[in-house]
Amino acid sequence: MRSIARHLGRSPSTICRELQRNQTVKGVYLPDTAQHQMQTRRQGAKNQFEQITLTTVTQVKIRLKQCHSPKQIAGRLKPEEQPTVSHETISVDHKIIL
């Protein structure tokens, strides 16, 4: 695992976690199966940027101008029952939003 991690420029713990998480029932790691499982998990876990409503984008813009951090904004949108947006999306896409 350490040599694979070194070759890929990743932490050995990342490689270990990947192998454990995506093993088949027989304990075999199949890359195609792992890729499919990741895509299935990701589909259900995230809102696509295009699916974020105009109201949410407006709220994010206002709060960024008020110097709120992306984490503060994302945390505040959840209790207000706005469509959720992660702090990572705000951090990466704030230039697009503004």
List, for residues 9-43, the tens digit of each pLDDT value. Answer: 999 999 999 999 888 889 899 999 999 888 887 77
- Return the pLDDT at 17: 92
Looking at per-residue pLDDT, the higher value among 23 and 81 belongs to 23
Domain coverage including residue 71? 49-97
Same domain, 77 and 92: yes
52 pLDDT more than 60:
yes
When pLDDT is cut at 50, 70 and 90, the band that residue 8 belongs to is very high
- Return the pLDDT at 4: 92
- Return the pLDDT at 10: 92
Residues linked to residue 23 through DSSP beta bridges, in sequence order: 29
Domain count for the chain? 2
Same domain, 53 and 93: yes
Same domain, 32 and 53: no
- Quick one: residue 76, left, alpha or beta (phi over 0 = left, psi -120 to 50 = alpha)? alpha
Same domain, 60 and 91: yes
Look up residue 6 and give its two tokens: 């070194």
The answer to whether the Cα torsion of 89, 93, 94, 98 is positive or negative is negative
- Return the pLDDT at 38: 84
